[in-house]
Structure formats: C-alpha cells, structure tokens
Structure 1
Amino acid sequence: MIIRKGNQNDLAEMKQLFTETITSVCKNDYNDQQLEVWRSGAENNERWLKVIHDQFVLVAVSDHKIVGFSTLDKGSYIDLFFVHKNYQHQGIASKLYLQIEDEARKQEGKNLTADVSKTALTFFEKMGFHVLKEQMVNAKGIMLTNYKMEKKL
C-alpha cells in the first residue's frame, strides 16, 4: 500500500468509496434514512471539487485502487476520513491519520478538530482526540448524531 496526495482524477473513486463505506461500515450506528442522506453528499460535485482544490488530500492505494482517503482543511480540520469496507482494521486509517497530523504540524497547527461519526468515535479517541460535544446535525431534514472532537498538537 502507498499513500499519496489525491488529485481530481481520484474523485470518482473517492466518492464511490465514500458511499460504499457509509452503507456497509456505518450501518450499525445509523438508520436507513440517515445513511441515505449522508451518502447523498457524494452528489454534491461542487463540494468535492472544492475539497480537491482547497484541502490537503491523501489517498491510500493498494492493488491500483483507492482503499482509503483523508482530507485536511485549513491545516487544522479533518473534513473527510474513510477506509474501504474490505480494508477495515488493517492499519490504513492509522497511517493516513499520522500523515494528516504531520501535515497539520507542518502548517503550524496548534490542534486538530473533526466532526466524527458514531462509527469513527473509537478510532479518533485512540488517536488522542477528546469529545468537545455531541452534536445533532440536520441534513435535508434528517437528524444525524456526530461528535465535535479535538486533539492538541
């Protein structure tokens, strides 16, 4: 597996990984309506193009396919963080995270923040984050629970 900077050519594969991961990995933490509205975020092409152009994007590649990705916005906010359903618990998330944290340090960030799903909460806690607050997010009229988390660098 290699980790490299993401680019616009990766977008289609990133969006597919995003929707498939939500569907299969997050299904025990969110109901069908919540999963559907969350997955619908892949349809917002303008947002994804903005992510690629404005954020620090890393992709993990194995056997010529993207198996995970993470994005860092403004040097201190982890915006997107997903690992392929068939590559869970293989250390990919940890490797991506360590490189994201390293980039935040290079950008002289004092802390990292993220809005973390119920599914990812334990991982982020293992990486040294703590919950600032539980949040109820309204996405197209459907309420989703997530957690505002932070780690001091």
Structure 2
Amino acid sequence: MVIRAYQPFDAVPLAALFYQTVHTVNRRDYTEKQLDAWAPKDIDLGAWDRSLQVHHTLVAVEDGCAVGFGDIDSNTGYLDRLYVHKDHQGMGIATALCDRLEASAAGLLVTHASITARPFFEKRGYQVLRAQQVERRGILLTNYIMEKTR
C-alpha cells in the first residue's frame, strides 16, 4: 500500500468509495434514509474536489486502486473525513492514514465521528465531548464531537 497526496483525478473514485463504504459499513448504525442523506448518489463532484483540495488530503492506494482516504485541516486540527473501502476494512489502512493526518497538524485534534467510527477514534485516544444531531438533506444523523490532546 502507498499513501500519497490527493490529486483532482481522485475525485471520482473517492466519491464512489465514500458512497459504497457509507452504504455498507455504516448500515448497522444508520437507517437507509440517513445513509442516502449522508452519502447521496448525486454528489457534486466539483464541490467534492474543491473540498478535498482545501484540506491536507491523503489517499491510500493498493494495486493501483484507492482503498482509503482522509483529510484534515492542518491549521485547526479538524479531521474531516476518514474512509476505507468496504472490502479493505480492518487492515490498518485507517490507522496508517490517521497517523499521517494527525502528524500534519499541531495541537488539539478534533473530529465529528459517526456512531460506527467512534470506537476507532476512542482507541486512538480521542474523547467524546458530546453527541450531536447534524442535518444532511433534511435528515438528522447522530455523530460525536471528539477531541484528542497531545
């Protein structure tokens, strides 16, 4: 596996990875309506690309295919996204990405973790500050504001 910087040509495969992962891995914790609101089929690829370019975004690649990605605002320490392909769960990809992303930011780290991702972040030393309801396309989803001090 290689971890490299995001490039604009990654937008389409990462959008597909995001959709497939959310609709498979997060199914146990969210309803179908919530999954559709969180990861819609009709994602705006231009906005998606711009969002990934604004942050420090890394892509994990294996055999020429993206198997995971994550992004962080290195200035604020906000870890925005961390997703691993549904067929590559539990292989250390999220840990490898997160290690590099965290290292790129100074000070406090913050994320808004899904119900599904909460245990992963807790094992990394993040503490839950509070649960919150976020609205996506008119649908409420639960996630957790978590932080990690170093």
TM-score category (smaller protein): over 0.9
* Cα drift, residue 126 of structure 1: 0.7
Where structure 2 has 5 or more consecutive residues not aligned to the other structure, the ranges are none
* Cα drift, residue 57 of structure 1: 0.5
Matched residue, 2:25: 25
CA RMSD of aligned residues (A): 1.3
Taking structure 1 as reference, are residues 70 and 86 closer, same or farther at Cα in structure 2, changes over 3 Å only?
Answer: same
Distance in structure 2 (CA, Å) of the matches to 1:3 and 1:33: 33
* Cα drift, residue 40 of structure 1: 1.7
Using the size of structure 1 for normalisation, the TM-score is 0.93
Give the alignment of 1:41-80 within 5 angstroms: 43-75=43-75, 76-80=77-81
> Is structure 2 residue 111 aligned with structure 1 residue 114?
yes
Q: Is the 8 A contact 1:15 1:42 kept in 2?
A: no
Taking structure 1 as reference, are residues 18 and 94 closer, same or farther at Cα in structure 2, changes over 3 Å only?
Answer: same
Where structure 1 has 5 or more consecutive residues not aligned to the other structure, the ranges are none
* Cα drift, residue 140 of structure 1: 1.7
Q: Is the 8 A contact 2:12 2:45 kept in 1?
A: no
Matched residue, 1:37: 37
Percent identity over the alignment is 38
Once the two structures are overlaid, the 10-residue window that deviates more, 25-34 or 50-59, is 50-59
Q: Is the 8 A contact 1:135 1:147 kept in 2?
A: yes
Taking structure 1 as reference, are residues 68 and 28 closer, same or farther at Cα in structure 2, changes over 3 Å only?
Answer: same
Give the alignment of 1:75-90 within 5 angstroms: 75=75, 76-90=77-91
Give the alignment of 1:118-129 within 5 angstroms: 118-129=115-126
